[in-house]
Amino acid sequence: MTDKHLSDKHLSHQLSYLLRHAPHEAGLTLAPGGWVPLEPVLAHLHVTREQVARVVAASDKQRFSLGTDARTGSERVRANQGHSVPVDLELVPTLPPAVLYHGTYPDALPAIRATGLKAMNRHHVHLSPDTATATKVGTRRGLPVVLTVHAGQMHTAGHLFYVSSNGVWLTEHVPSEFVEFPQG
């Protein structure tokens, strides 16, 4: 692994923290959609536009977006989801597929069986459109467990779903009756 790769990984973590959890540390206020001007982010993190653009482009989960403010013409950046601070992500309710998936770990299963999937310190529960992505998410804490979420049934029961710009499905809560647990 090269030093450049390590620095990009470190920058990705810094961007995630700043844009999802602590914009106030850089004196930033998240605009609708979660956008902030790029220049103050660059100054706060002591990085260049090229470094941020490289991290945005290389993010395996497309965690970030770069754009231009239509009113001012200035560049801006955002985290696509995963915020723990108040933000209007301008998400539009969307009809979900029949099933979605959630990657977790074995120790979380008793709580999920009891109360379902909760957003915890985030705004939404994150769901994946495929088992491969859910497996990857679940490996963050060791042995992964992939849960099947009956999203179509949830939608019929009145639950709202949203899809972020990077394809992550979001909902406020998944009651346990809509979760299919693996056998064994």
Report the pLDDT value the prediction gives residue 134, as an integer from 0 to 100: 94
Q: Which two tokens stand for residue 59?
A: 């993010």
137-142 long-range Cβ contacts below 8 angstroms, 24+ apart:
137/102, 137/103, 138/103, 138/104, 138/105, 139/103, 140/105, 141/104, 141/105, 141/107, 142/105, 142/106
Instruction: Tell me if 94 is assigned to some domain.
Output: no
Question: Looking at the predicted structure, is the pLDDT value of residue 60 above 80?
Answer: no
Element (H, E) at 134: helix 131-138
Least confident of 62-76, 147-161, 168-182: 62-76
AA letter at 105 = Y
Is 162:170 a contact under the CB 8 Å cutoff? yes
168 CB neighbour count, 10 Å cutoff: 22
Name, in order, each residue with C-beta under 8 angstroms of 184's C-beta and a sequence gap of 6 or more.
none
Which band of pLDDT confidence, cut at 50, 70 and 90, is reported for residue 64?
very high
Is 72 contained in some domain?
yes
Lowest mean pLDDT among 11-15, 59-63, 78-82: 59-63
For the segment 28-38, the average pLDDT, to the nearest whole number, is 92
Q: Do 170 and 151 contact (CB within 8 A), yes or no? A: no
For 74, the domain range is: 3-79
Average pLDDT estimate for 40-53: 95
CATH number at residue 17: 1.10.10.970
Across 4-18, 66-80, 136-150, least confident range = 4-18
Q: What is the pLDDT of residue 184?
A: 64
Total domain count, the chain: 2
